[in-house]
Chain A
Amino acid sequence: MRKKRVVITGVGPISSIGMGQEAFWNGLLNNQDHIREHKEYIGKELWETFRYHKIENFDIHQFGIDRDKLKRIKDWKEGEENEDLNYLLASVKLALDDGKIKNTNDYRIGLVLAHENIGLMPFGLKISGLAYDMLIGKSAQVLGKKDFYAVFYEQFIKSGYDVQGFPNLFHVTQTFDIKNFSLFVNNACASGLYAMETASQIIKNDQSDIVITAVSDHSDIYKYVWFKEIGIYSEKGYMSPFSKNADGILIGDGAAGVMLEDYEHAQKRGAFIYAEYLGGGFDLENWKITVPQIGSQSYQSAIKKALQQSSVAVKDIDVLCAHGVGKKTIDGYESKAITDVFGKNPKDLAITAFKGYLGHTLGASALLETIIILLMMKNNKIIASKNCEDVDPQHHLRLVEKTKECQIKTVMKICCPFAGFNAAVLLKKG
């Protein structure tokens, strides 16, 4: 069997600075962010106030998705909206449109969907409300334990079902008539990179000619409260990766759809090729969920494995797109890995970090930032790292400070997420 090459032929960004390729790219060029203050009320009582990168005016019906299919989802969910799923649907549609796929039945198309915690927010709110009503509120009833469990079950099961990956995989494959090999993955913030590698292997194993990868994240109160409790939410109100004043994240709404395809298949149908997916390196640290193991070589190992898999030398990389979380411990962990592999203040390597524009879109971040890389390659322009004017010298890194014209050939995207699912992938322009 011939050795297949895998290329990227469609992108679908959904973000707070723009939805769709053109708006998204313009948002980056114009150095935008869209941070808003949100007040979370429970009834009339204020629970928390927080800032985040917000998508405004999102309407799932604006993307040209079959309305009957959307209604089927709404019927299953008994009218309950799930913005995470809607973002996924929109990003997949945008990627298909960008890749000029009009009828999915004409191709062998697979899907790799990813999400860190799909359905958790509606589920959490629903059972909180149910528990309150049943135990304390107006409709409190005197029930035995078994009856309480039974009544509660009947009320929450629909929402609870959709916390699982497979119903959402079903909704997306059914909506777009995707019939080939499909998978749901969750590797925290590195989900997008794991999804791309998986898609690449599906294509190389001849299961599909095209595989859409898609990840999303809709910001919500639970995420804010959790990150605040573990001391990782920015108090100053914006993200500044690797900077002296880095104090944590702001969560951000976002979704990304990226279409991978067999190179010969893409050429035959005359598809626009953004870049070749050369390969990835993955290393599991296996220490803690929320804290990186300072002193480990896991992240370095993932980066080196990616270079090895792709037969690329360190000197051949033009741009490195860091995870850039803007929390001192994680930035320190990441800068050590970068300098161990590439050297301190590497001269011929442009290093970027994009979360200043988008916030931390959690599971969607790696794939959404991959789309930025692909657009940089397409437009021969490198995007500056936002809010990174005062990099902490302890990191021994020089970040791209100005958006400028630049021929970009080979880019590495790296990610050091929670739970130590360290990942690195390489892309090369043809």
Chain B
Amino acid sequence: MFSHKKIRKGIRMKKEEIVKEFKKLLVEVVDVDENKITGDAHFFKDIGIDSLKAIEITVAIERRFKINVRDEQIPQITTLNQAVSAIEKALQEKNA
């Protein structure tokens, strides 16, 4: 089943699916080379995403995964791994 259908239906997503969906989102929002998006690559230092784009990414995460990212989490999401971890946690809380 496509990821967006799983999200809409509240069906648990596997981590790999979240990673894939997030990478797709990142490419759409920031127009970045997907090969640069590795687990610990820093958005600002390694991928060239600035702080404004980082907030746009948060907006897109919320829309795509239908979750709420708390204010204080936003500056903490600076790598793929951190983003996926935050999304996983929010989805678990939502589906609990």
Known: A293-B59, A294-B59. A288 touches B71 (CB 8 A): yes
Q: Is B72 an interface residue (CB 8 A)?
A: yes
- Asked whether, in the complex, the Cβ of B52 is within 8 Å of the Cβ of A294, the reply is yes
Task: Pick the interface stretch among A20-28, A73-81, A325-333, A380-388.
Answer: A325-333
Could you say which interface size class chain A belongs to? 10 to 19
A241 within 8 A of partner (CB): no
Determine if A167 is an interface residue (Cβ-Cβ < 8 Å): no
CB neighbours (8 Å) of A270 from chain B are none
Q: B55 near A: Cβ within 8 Å?
A: yes
- CB neighbours (8 Å) of A289 from chain B are 71
Per-position 1/0 for A253-292, Cβ under 8 A of B = 0000000000000000000000000000000000111111
CA distance A295 to B29 in the complex (A): 11
B20 nearest CB across to chain A (Å): 23
Contacts of A295 in B (CB 8 A): 56, 59
Q: Are A291 and B55 interface neighbours, CB within 8 A?
A: yes
- Do A328 and B52 form a contact, CB below 8 Å, given A293-B59, A294-B59? yes
A294/B56 in contact, CB under 8 A: yes
Q: How far is the CA of A386 from the CA of B8 in the complex (A)?
A: 50
Residue A313 lies at the interface, judged by CB distance under 8 Å to chain B? no
Also in contact, A292 and B55, with CB within 8 A (given A230-B72, A231-B75): yes
Chain A 24-41 per-residue mask, 1 if CB under 8 angstroms from chain B, else 0: 000000000000000000
Instruction: Indicate if the CB atoms of A290 and B52 lie closer than 8 Å.
Output: no
Bound Cα distance A292, B55 (Å):
8
Residue B38 CB within 8 A of the other chain = no
Contact: B52 with A333, CB < 8 Å? Answer: yes
Which A residues lie within 8 Å of B59 (CB)? 287, 293-295
Q: How far is the CA of A328 from the CA of B55 in the complex (A)?
A: 12
For the complex formed, measure the closest distance between the CB of A285 and the CB atoms of chain B, giving whole angstroms.
11
Instruction: Tell whether B74 is near chain A: CB-to-CB under 8 Å.
Output: yes
Query: Does the CB pair A329–B72 fall under 8 Å?
Result: no
- Report chain A residues within 8 Å CB of B58: 291
Chain A 302-352 interface residues, beta-carbon cutoff 8 Å to B: 328-329, 332-333
Q: How far is the CA of A41 from the CA of B86 in the complex (A)?
A: 37
The answer to whether A328 touches B71, judged by C-beta atoms less than 8 angstroms apart, is no
In the bound complex, how far is the Cα of B51 from the Cα of A328, in angstroms? 8
Contact with B along A201-231 (1 / 0, CB 8 A): 0000000000000000000000000000011
Contact (Cβ within 8 A) B56 A329: no
A293 touches B55 (CB 8 A): yes
Task: Decide: B55 and A290 in contact? CB cutoff 8 A.
Answer: no
Taking CB atoms, residues of chain B closer than 8 Å to A287 are: 59
Contact of B51 among A230, A288, A290, A329 (CB under 8 A): A329
With A328-B51, A329-B51: A291-B74 Cβ-Cβ less than 8 Å = yes
Chain A residues positioned under 8 Å from B50 (CB to CB): 328
Taken residue by residue from 67 to 87, chain B's Cβ proximity to chain A (1 for < 8 Å, 0 otherwise) reads as 000011011000000000000
A-chain residues with CB within 8 Å of residue B74 when the two chains form the complex: 288, 291
B83 to chain A, nearest CB (A): 16
With both beta carbons as reference points, the residue of chain B lying nearest to A328 in the complex is identified as: B51
- CB neighbours (8 Å) of B71 from chain A are 230, 288-291
Assembly CA distance A294 to B59 (angstroms): 8
- A residues within 8 A CB of B55? 291-294, 329
Q: Quote the shortest CB–CB distance from B62 to chain A (angstroms).
A: 9
Measured between beta carbons, the chain B residues less than 8 angstroms from A230 are 71-72
The CA-CA distance from A329 to B71 in the complex, in Å, is: 14
User: Which residues on the A side are within 8 Å of B72 (C-beta)?
Assistant: 230
* Complexed CA–CA distance, A294 and B75 (Å): 14
New A-B contacts (8) at CB < 8 Å, excluding given A291-B71, A329-B52, A332-B52? A230-B72, A231-B75, A287-B59, A295-B56, A328-B50, A328-B52, A329-B51, A332-B51
| A-B residue pairs in contact (CB < 8 Å), sample of 20 | A230-B71, A230-B72, A287-B59, A288-B71, A288-B74, A289-B71, A291-B55, A291-B58, A291-B71, A291-B74, A293-B55, A294-B52, A294-B55, A294-B59, A295-B59, A328-B51, A329-B51, A329-B55, A332-B51, A332-B52
Cβ-closest 10 pairs across A and B: A294-B55, A332-B52, A290-B71, A294-B56, A329-B51, A294-B52, A288-B71, A295-B56, A291-B74, A328-B51
